[in-house]
């Protein structure tokens, strides 16, 4: 089952910069009819909106704010592609005395995706089609000790993605897990690795949405993780799916 980007209506969180902005631009380049661009400060979307010929609809959307998430689900009830991209990496010392950094990482990266999923999944399910794409990270598959609590939050996104996929199996709604390695954005500015461009990552994500894939590894470093993922995490997920299907039969 595949989903065409041409003439589609999409919503992207964290759309004002980095990977999110690149996804909006890539959606437009592939002929999306309308893109709801979520940002905490809609003024930061001005250039995207101005360049889009009316196709980008700005939405005030802080994913930690339940009222704004509910308002977005209502305003964008015609969206068939929902990209949960917004994220933060606060790179704190795991052993310091404050939980502020990890709590913020979980509030945005995990609870934000859960809020969005709860708001949008029912309407996609009713339509019987669409894609929810959740941006996790290869750091969600194995903990990177330079950002341990960020990795924890991305592991939670990975698990949430699997759970959402299990629950939406058979509804026509696809759930895509996105696993980038280092990408050249503000979030990764202090990381020394070779970084992929946001534009290439965005196009790889859209290819995956169009092909109906269940996960995508968006760059060279991430693709090195794919074989171990397929043999490990994915094999366990598919085994669980089969076991549940047999129990329900």
DSSP β-bridge partners for residue 179? 217
Whichever of 67 and 128 has its CB closer to ligand NAP, that residue is: 67
SS3 30: coil
Active-site annotation holder among 36, 110, 150, 229:
150
Whichever of 88 and 213 has its CB closer to ligand NAP, that residue is: 88
Least Å distance between CB 70 and ligand NAP?
14
| Structural contact between residues 79 and 58, judged by C-beta atoms closer than 8 angstroms | no
| Structural contact between residues 173 and 132, judged by C-beta atoms closer than 8 angstroms | yes
Q: Take residue 164 and report the two structure tokens written for it.
A: 């959402």
| Structural contact between residues 241 and 163, judged by C-beta atoms closer than 8 angstroms | no
Q: Could you give the CA distance from residue 151 to residue 154 in angstroms, rounded to a whole number?
A: 5
Single out the segment in contact with ligand NAP by CB under 6 A; choices: 17-25, 141-149, 159-167, 208-216: 17-25
217 phi, psi to nearest 5 deg: -105, 115
Nearest to 135 by CA among 168, 107, 158: 158
Whichever of 186 and 247 has its CB closer to ligand NAP, that residue is: 186
Which residues inside 181-210 make contact with ligand NAP, applying CB under 6 A?
A: 182-183, 185-188
Which residues inside 209-228 make contact with ligand NAP, applying CB under 6 A?
A: none
Single out the segment in contact with ligand NAP by CB under 6 A; choices: 23-31, 45-53, 55-63, 235-243: 55-63
Residues lying near ligand NAP in the complex (CB under 6 A) are found at: 13-14, 16-20, 39-41, 44, 61-64, 85-89, 108, 135, 137, 180, 182-183, 185-188
């Amino acid at each position: 089952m595949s989903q065409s980007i041409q003439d589609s209506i999409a919503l992207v969180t964290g759309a004002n910069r980095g990977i999110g902005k690149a996804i909006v631009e890539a959606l437009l380049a592939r002929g999306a009819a309308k893109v709801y661009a979520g940002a905490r400060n809609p003024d930061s979307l001005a250039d995207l909106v101005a360049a889009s010929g009316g196709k980008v609809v700005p939405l005030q959307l802080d994913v930690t704010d339940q009222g704004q998430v509910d308002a977005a689900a209502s305003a964008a009830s015609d969206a068939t592609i929902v990209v949960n991209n917004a994220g933060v990496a606060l790179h704190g010392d795991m052993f310091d005395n404050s939980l502020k950094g990890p709590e913020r990482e979980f509030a945005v990266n995990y609870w934000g995706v859960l809020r969005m999923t709860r708001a949008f999944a029912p309407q996609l399910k009713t339509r019987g089609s669409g894609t929810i794409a959740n941006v996790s990270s290869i750091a969600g598959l194995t903990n990177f000790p330079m950002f341990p609590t960020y990795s924890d939050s991305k592991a939670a996104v990975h698990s949430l993605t699997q759970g959402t996929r299990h629950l939406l199996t058979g509804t026509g709604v696809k759930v895509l897990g996105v696993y980038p390695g280092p990408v050249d954005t503000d979030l990764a500015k202090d990381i020394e690795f070779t970084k992929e461009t946001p534009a290439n990552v965005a196009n790889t994500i859209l290819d995956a949405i169009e092909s109906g894939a269940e996960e995508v590894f968006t760059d060279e470093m991430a693709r090195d993780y794919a074989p171990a993922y397929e043999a490990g995490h994915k094999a366990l997920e598919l085994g669980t799916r089969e076991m549940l299907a047999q129990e329900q039969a």
